[in-house]
Amino acid sequence: MQEVAEYLAYAEDCRRIARTTSNPDDKRRLLEMATVWALLAGELEAQINGERSAARSK
């Protein structure tokens, strides 16, 4: 779960930096990166939870 937390932190870093930039293209790219990091975190968390569920059902 440490990687999930790291990915979410990266997403928040991108959002924080996006709030400070005045360049619309940079802001858009940073927000896109934040979205991707958050999606990766969600996918990894689902994978981890799926593995835990599978291990419990054995």
Which pLDDT score is estimated for 58? 60
DSSP H/E element including 2: helix 2-20
Query: What's the mean pLDDT in 34-57?
Result: 89
Residue 1: pLDDT band by 50, 70, 90 thresholds? confident
CB–CB of 50/9 below 8 Å?
A: no
Please tell me whether residue 45 adopts helix, strand or coil conformation: helix
**What is the model's pTM?**
0.85
Q: What pLDDT digit, counting tens, does each position of 21-33 carry?
A: 999 999 999 999 9
Q: Would you say residue 41 has pLDDT above 80?
A: yes
- What is the pLDDT of the chain when averaged over all its residues? 93
Q: Domain coordinates of the chain in residue numbers? A: 2-56
